[in-house]
Amino acid sequence: MIRTLAVLLAAALVVSPAHGARNSQRRVQAFAKLPDWSGMWETASSKVITNPAGTGGPGFAKANQLWGNSNPPFKPELEAQYRAGVHDAAAAAAFANSFKGCGEGAVQLEKTFPFVMDSPMVFEVTVTPEQTLLTFDHGEIRYIYTDGRSHPQQDDLWPTPMGDSVGRWHGDTLVIDTIARTAGPFVLDSSIGLSEQAHFIERMRMIDHNTLEDQLTIEDPQRLATPWKLTFRFTRATDLDRMIPYDCEADRNPIVNGKMIIRPPEAPAQPAGAH
Amino acid sequence: MARGRLLTAGLAACALAAAGAVRAHHSGAMFDTQKLVTLTGTVRLFQWANPHCWIQLYAPALDGKMVEWSVEMGSTTELYRSGWRPHTLQAGQKISVVVHPARDGSPGAAFVSATGEDGAALGKVLKTVAQ
């Protein structure tokens, strides 16, 4: 019995193609043809807020193209609704006092594409022959498959916040095609959402050693009169040596009666003046 | 997501810009970024956490009464990039913190900078990752 098991185990090890497998010469050659985008990159808005110690400064809103005064080319029947929204100052002020990116009551835009490309975050790029991964410091991941596949068939596809992305390398430019993004808001200054028919095309390339550029075109015949073209530029983050897991478990900024407050820490406080 | 919340976000950009201190996690509208106040006191707790790190500091309120301040900082990644570490502050440590105070007068504030008793800026000298 034992001899039989030993023989079966040995046979399994011999025939298992994955055991001890190395990258094929073909895959190694495919790697060698790819541009090296490895490292940490930060969005324009991240660059503003990270100086110093997370305190922001003037210019933050200007760094974001999807945050305010975004002016998407809405269809005429939606344009008036958009304009009415952006001119409601009182409502805007109330919103500014209640906006948060995660935690209870949070606007979830930060976890959706394309907003994630314009949020104040750092992301790491991993380029392989089969896929390119954009891993954001708040936990979001974009999977961009570059193995020649098409989008899934209709029956196998459903909307997700990041959508379904496939890419093709055109020289050193990654052309990304994204569909099936969950219908809903895509800019911070309007509740008018994209439809599930929205189609996104990106051309991502390295401008220089410290700059990645992403030219994004959004098409949505149900919402937009014309394709909307945006360009994001990302800067290499040279002061970060690893991705640090992020969560919202210690969120101390609940929204109470429409207003953000500061909640005391859970640890019991000693009487003031105890020290 | 509350539809009304986004619908009312029309001038959010203007409000956000006016707020000045805007964080990765939320706007800084609750803080008066036109004011800079220096709090000198004793650390009760340094909370190294996300979405924000916090300094709980015993220091005089604006009226002089001793209170516990909640000083809001950036995320762990943002602080790490700025040279801070989980043990940069210890309970009982005397520090001075420059903050933007909360608009409502409560002992809450947004962090701007900090120095130790010796007057040296807190946080390590930033290192540069070789590329």
Inter-chain touch A60–B16, beta carbons under 8 Å: yes
Report pLDDT for A53.
Answer: 38
Beta-bridge partners for A224: A74
Indicate whether B15 belongs to any domain: no
Inter-chain touch B47–A99, beta carbons under 8 Å: no
Inter-chain touch A99–B126, beta carbons under 8 Å: no
ipTM over cut 0.85 = no
The domain ranges of chain A are 39-244
Give me the residue from B1, B106, B128 closest to A239, CB to CB: B128
Size of interface A-B (CB pairs under 8 A): 257
Contacts of A95 in chain B (CB under 8 A): 5-6, 8-10, 12, 15
Which residue on chain A is closest to B5 by alpha carbon?
Answer: A95
Which residue stretches of chain B have pLDDT < 70? 1-25, 27, 124-131
Using one digit for the tens of pLDDT, what is the confidence trace for A175-185? 999 999 999 98
- Chain B interface, best mutation among A41, A95, A235, by max B CB count within 10 A: A95
| DSSP-derived 3-state class of residue A117 | helix
Inter-chain touch A188–B78, beta carbons under 8 Å: no
Count CA atoms closer than 13 A to B75's CA, side-chain side: 27
Indicate whether B72 belongs to any domain: yes
Q: In this structure, what DSSP letter does residue B122 have?
A: S
Inter-chain touch B12–A189, beta carbons under 8 Å: yes
- Pairing outcome for strands A211-219 and B54-60: unpaired
Report pLDDT for A3.
Answer: 61
Q: Sorting pLDDT into bands at 50, 70 and 90, what band is A215?
A: very high
Which residue on chain B is closest to A238 by alpha carbon?
Answer: B129
Instruction: Kindly state the tokens that stand for A171.
Output: 């020289």
Residue among A56, A63, A68 nearest A231 (CA): A63
Contacts of B47 in chain A (CB under 8 A): 250, 265
Contacts of B3 in chain A (CB under 8 A): 191
Whether the predicted model's global pTM rises above the 0.95 cut:
no
Indicate whether B93 belongs to any domain: yes
Indicate whether B51 belongs to any domain: yes
Report pLDDT for A15.
Answer: 52
Which residue on chain B is closest to A119 by alpha carbon?
Answer: B24
Domains of chain B: total: 1
Contacts of B59 in chain A (CB under 8 A): none
| DSSP-derived 3-state class of residue A169 | strand
Domain coverage including residue B98: 37-116
Instruction: Kindly state the tokens that stand for A30.
Output: 């495919």
Inter-chain touch B8–A94, beta carbons under 8 Å: yes
Q: Which residues contact B101 (CB under 8 A, 6 or more apart)?
A: B31, B32, B35, B37, B62, B108, B109
Indicate whether B71 belongs to any domain: yes
Measure B26 CA to nearest chain A CA, in Å. Answer: 4
Using one digit for the tens of pLDDT, what is the confidence trace for B38-66? 999 999 999 999 989 999 999 999 889 99
Report pLDDT for A62.
Answer: 52
| CATH code of the domain in which B80 resides | 2.40.50.140
